[in-house]
Structure 1
Amino acid sequence: MARRVLTPDERALWGKLTRTVTPLRRVRPLPPVEPVSAAAFAAALDAPKPVKGRIPPSRPMAPPPSPPAPAAVPVLDGSWEKRIRSGRIIPDHAIDLHGLNLAAAHIRLERAIGDALAQGWRVLLVVTGKPRPAPAPGETRRRGAIRAEIGDWLARSTHAHRIASVRQAHPRHGGDGALYVILRRSN
């Protein structure tokens, strides 16, 4: 590994530090370090580094592969799954994020999860609106922005460790436009 040339300030600081250290065992003293001029320091930085062996041709940098999406962890038992599929689940509380901007919706979601945990509620119905449709030609209005962000918000939430599962709501509770946030039981 090539050694880096120390700046004059770094050499002075290193010398000051080494004078304050007591060695664990007796060693030969290092030769004194001679000061290096600024011109010699700049020349040492600009000097080409020697290369040993064959130099491979440079390749274009490929973006690093994205990490695989985490597999869904089955944290809910069969009775939960049946209740969700059949629509027999009864949310303890519901919040509607329609008409809010992204910042206000994020704050309201965090507060609602905090309140639900404080009250001991297990199922929170979050109405987000339908997912973003394919963009129509010439359409400039953004739709479905809250729905597009809610997964990230829940993953980064201060209460993320207390969220057992997030599932699409049954049609009677909003279907594609709503989610069940199922919270873990407090221990």
Structure 2
Amino acid sequence: MRRLTAHERALWARVAASVKPLPGREVPKLPAVPTPAPAPAPVQPPAKAALAPGLPRRPTAPTTKPKPPHPLGASLDGSWDRQIARGRLAPDRIIDLHGHTVATAHGVLASAIVAGDGARVILVITGKGRPDRPARIRDELMHWLERPDLRPHVASLRNAHPRHGGSGAFYIILRRPK
């Protein structure tokens, strides 16, 4: 069994002093706690020496903080995420935007969201893109959903299950009509 350090003994003494003994018991006497020696001055790290050519550099920790979740992903409870993860979410409408231009894709998507026909989950297939042809519609989707005409209708945006297209498709969960 290891012995307590001076710091741990000091902490224990403070805790023991704050405890009221049970009736009929007396407070045990604690051994005197020696005052800890002053801590040595911190050692300054040596100046960064230049690495010899050909030696790999040591990776540094990232300094950026993780981004908070997007507001379009924050308004659903866990049951939605479980249904998506298990592939059990059944979309009420499917919109395939392959072959559309950015302008026509926005029009098709906006009319489906604003339609008000009782659909709650819309599966939007945007495609993944290719190195020679990036997925412009996929890149614009978040911007379209944040516009003032569509934002009030959208509760959340989630990546689709692989069964429904994986990273080339999204579920748009609409708010309940009022």
The TM tier, using the shorter chain, reads 0.5 to 0.7
116, 119, 125: which one aligns with 2:117: 119
147, 157, 164: which one aligns with 1:156: 147
Aligned partner of residue 120 in structure 1, secondary structure: coil
Deviations 1:112-135 (A, max 9, x none): 1112xx1111100000001x45x4
Indicate if the aligned counterparts of 2:160 and 2:167 stay in contact, CA closer than 8 A. Answer: yes
Structure-2 separation of matches of 1:165 and 1:69: 17
Deviation at 1:69, TM superposition (A): 6.0
Structure-1 separation of matches of 2:168 and 2:77: 24
Structure-2 separation of matches of 1:104 and 1:151: 16
Report the RMSD for the aligned CA atoms in angstroms. Answer: 1.9
* Equivalent position amino acid for 1:72 in 2: H
Residue 31 of structure 1 corresponds to which residue in structure 2? none
Structure-1 separation of matches of 2:169 and 2:162: 9
Structure 1 or 2: more helix by fraction: 1
Residue 170 of structure 1 corresponds to which residue in structure 2? 161
Indicate if the aligned counterparts of 1:110 and 1:157 stay in contact, CA closer than 8 A. Answer: no
Structure-2 separation of matches of 1:69 and 1:78: 20
**Structure 1: runs of 5 or more not aligned:** 1-67, 136-140
* Equivalent position amino acid for 2:70 in 1: A
**Structure 2: runs of 5 or more not aligned:** 1-65
Indicate if the aligned counterparts of 1:127 and 1:177 stay in contact, CA closer than 8 A. Answer: yes
Indicate if the aligned counterparts of 1:93 and 1:125 stay in contact, CA closer than 8 A. Answer: yes
Structure-2 separation of matches of 1:69 and 1:160: 21
* Equivalent position amino acid for 1:99 in 2: G
Aligned partner of residue 146 in structure 2, secondary structure: helix
* Equivalent position amino acid for 2:124 in 1: V
- Number of residue-to-residue matches in the alignment: 111
Structure-2 separation of matches of 1:157 and 1:111: 14
TM-score (norm 2): 0.58
Percent of paired sites with the same residue = 50
Structure-2 separation of matches of 1:69 and 1:107: 30
Indicate if the aligned counterparts of 1:129 and 1:178 stay in contact, CA closer than 8 A. Answer: yes
Structure-1 separation of matches of 2:152 and 2:67: 18
Q: Which runs of 4+ in 1 moved over 3 A?
A: 68-73
155, 173, 178: which one aligns with 1:182: 173
Aligned partner of residue 156 in structure 1, secondary structure: coil
